[in-house]
A = this chain, B = another copy of it.
Amino acid sequence: MSETTTAAAGISTADKDQALVNSTMENAHSAFQLYRRMAAKDRALFLETIGKEIDKIREQLVAVAGRETHLPAARLNGEINRTIGQANLFASLIREGSWVEAAIDTEDPGRTPPKPDTRKMLVPVGPVVVFGASNFPFAFSTAGGDTVSALAAGSTVVIKGHSAHAETSGLVFGAIQKAIEASGMPPMTVQHLLGSGRTVGIALVVHPYTTAVGFTGSFAGGKALLEAAQKREVPIPVHAEMSSINPVVFFPDTLEKNAAALAKSYAGSITLGMGQFCTNPGVLLGVKSAALDSFLTLLSAEIAAVEPAKMLHKGICEAYTEGLSSMLGQKGLTIVGQAAKTAGDMEARPVVASVPAAVFLKNPHLSEEVFGPFSLCVICDDRQQLGEVLKSFKGQLTTTIMGTPDDVRGNMDIIDLQQQLAGRVILNNVPTGVEVNASMVHGGPWPATTDGRFTSVGTSAIQRWVRPVCFQNFLDEMLPAEAEECKSAGDLEGG
């Protein structure tokens, strides 16, 4: 949300911004009246065409995004693959059709009172506003998961591109426009705006024609959008993915047996993409022991060898530097290890610190997210204190269990606490790396997201942009295709 307006400040700019937002949302509303009636197979083809048009300009996208975000080409290519894969996944989902959760209860005129024919299915809510995320210029931005899930649902989309990769965003939007034209969709099905989150962004959220919002970014940014949406005459849902420190519990038996491998994989996860992932392991937990000490020594050596690299943009780099400095200034913290090389211009220096659990429990500042390659190891006196630390956490995107089968069997109570904490619970993996499929949950209780009952990754992400409608006693000719009897009755038959 730390952005600057594209035009000079002044009353006329604000008026111009508002006029632009008004005409954009009017277009989105009008286009919705056409787009929502497009056949699922045509919407599916449109999504696949978006992927193809992005692939056509891949080389240019990687070059421009590399310059704008400092992310390496391999990562950007991988992210483009993921973005295309997401569009194709939602195309398959809507072509298959059961995502509409159709349910049919047939009539029984002989019952007292007569039982009507009722058929339920999900329909799109209306125009959706999507905010591009700075840390994923493709997969969580212009043609990212929020956009393609909303388009799959039958909603039109207005994208507020992130100013940190404005040129990349414009190029991706160009690819979407080509796909709109090639697949015969209404011209205003997707629109693209740049500008300040605080002015243009809020104006989009509060516009009467906006029906839902998707956002991935900071807690402050997500909360500001949510509060604006709640103050509307007609409140609307904001799906913001905001803040998570992704606690990882290291159990004793695995620390004894696998310390070197654990140190290697966690040094990698903490510093992957310079820690600029929502699922970065920001807090490591263990009960004090010689094995934990050895693990931390090995982790320290691994971290020391990591090369500092440029962060996404100046604002994020400054926030990391300030956040790290504030964190390291807290009483009771010890630096466990840090990159041997100091950070250059716009670079982040990876750091791991440790703190006794008794100190951690008394200082809420220590459980705040430092977005970047930082992780804090909380050293507990015993299992009971480990449980207390877990209970002290707010909602998380992920939590991880590192343990052997013996560890697991001996700690089901701790694992149970972890299951109540997060949207995804991982055994013997790093939390970074999010699969895109039907079983993924990228979400979690507040403040990980604004509504832990939804996910922003995977096919279930479509559920954010739909509402159910019941059609009672409708004639066959009036029913949407998905609510007609002939469609695979086995799946559709209601209770």
User: Given known contacts A92-B495, A433-B113, is B470 in contact with A440 (CB within 8 Å)?
Assistant: yes
User: Given known contacts A105-B435, A437-B105, A494-B438, is B472 in contact with A445 (CB within 8 Å)?
Assistant: no
Contact A120 B425 (CB under 8 A): no
Does A446 lie at the interface of the complex (its beta carbon under 8 Å from any beta carbon of B)?
yes
Does A5 lie at the interface of the complex (its beta carbon under 8 Å from any beta carbon of B)?
no
Does A466 lie at the interface of the complex (its beta carbon under 8 Å from any beta carbon of B)?
yes
A460 to B100, CA, bound (A): 13
Which of chain B's residues have a CB closer than 8 A to the CB of A451?
A: 237
Name, among A438, A445, A455, A470, the residue most crowded by chain B CB atoms within 10 Å (CB to CB).
Answer: A470
Contact B446 A468 (CB under 8 A): no
Does A235 lie at the interface of the complex (its beta carbon under 8 Å from any beta carbon of B)?
yes
User: Given known contacts A230-B230, A460-B468, is B439 in contact with A103 (CB within 8 Å)?
Assistant: yes
A467 to B455, CA, bound (A): 9
Using C-beta atoms within 8 Å of the partner chain, give the interface range for chain A: 35 or more
Within 8 A of B (CB), among A411-469: 412, 415, 419, 422-429, 433, 435, 437-441, 443, 445-447, 450-455, 458-460, 463, 466-469
Which of chain B's residues have a CB closer than 8 A to the CB of A425?
A: 469-472, 474
A264 to B286, CA, bound (A): 73
Which of chain B's residues have a CB closer than 8 A to the CB of A118?
A: 435, 437, 439-440
Contact A415 B467 (CB under 8 A): no
Which of chain B's residues have a CB closer than 8 A to the CB of A105?
A: 435, 437-440
Contact A424 B469 (CB under 8 A): yes
Contact A441 B116 (CB under 8 A): no
Does A353 lie at the interface of the complex (its beta carbon under 8 Å from any beta carbon of B)?
no
Name, among A409, A415, A422, A424, the residue most crowded by chain B CB atoms within 10 Å (CB to CB).
Answer: A424
Name, among A119, A423, A428, A435, the residue most crowded by chain B CB atoms within 10 Å (CB to CB).
Answer: A435
Contact B443 A468 (CB under 8 A): yes
Contact B125 A474 (CB under 8 A): no
Which of chain B's residues have a CB closer than 8 A to the CB of A101?
A: 460
Fill in one digit per residue for A110-127: 1 if any B CB lies within 8 Å of its CB, else 0.
000101101110010100
Contact B470 A439 (CB under 8 A): yes
- Nearest CB in chain B: distance from A81 CB, A: 12
Contact B473 A426 (CB under 8 A): yes
A15 to B472, CA, bound (A): 50
Which of chain B's residues have a CB closer than 8 A to the CB of A435?
A: 105, 115-116, 118
A67 to B158, CA, bound (A): 56
A408 to B103, CA, bound (A): 23
A331 to B438, CA, bound (A): 57
Fill in one digit per residue for A248-261: 1 if any B CB lies within 8 Å of its CB, else 0.
00000000000000
Does A11 lie at the interface of the complex (its beta carbon under 8 Å from any beta carbon of B)?
no
Does A405 lie at the interface of the complex (its beta carbon under 8 Å from any beta carbon of B)?
yes
A469 to B440, CA, bound (A): 8
Contact A429 B116 (CB under 8 A): yes
User: Given known contacts A405-B475, A429-B116, is B437 in contact with A452 (CB within 8 Å)?
Assistant: no
- Nearest CB in chain B: distance from A113 CB, A: 7
Contact A452 B467 (CB under 8 A): yes
Contact A419 B235 (CB under 8 A): no
Does A478 lie at the interface of the complex (its beta carbon under 8 Å from any beta carbon of B)?
yes
A474 to B427, CA, bound (A): 6
Contact A495 B424 (CB under 8 A): no
Instruction: List chain A positions with a Cβ less than 8 A from chain B.
Output: 89, 92-93, 101, 103-105, 113, 115-116, 118-120, 123, 125, 226, 230, 234-235, 237, 394-395, 405, 408-409, 412, 415, 419, 422-429, 433, 435, 437-441, 443, 445-447, 450-455, 458-460, 463, 466-475, 477-478, 494-495
Given contacts A408-B475, A427-B471, 10 further A-B contacts (CB under 8 A): A118-B440, A125-B453, A226-B235, A234-B447, A408-B478, A425-B474, A437-B495, A441-B468, A455-B468, A459-B495
Task: Provide 11 A-B residue pairs closer than 8 Å at the C-beta atoms, listed in order of the A residue.
Answer: A101-B460, A105-B437, A105-B440, A116-B429, A116-B435, A412-B478, A423-B469, A425-B474, A427-B471, A429-B472, A441-B470
3 tightest A-B contacts by CB? A438-B494, A441-B470, A438-B495
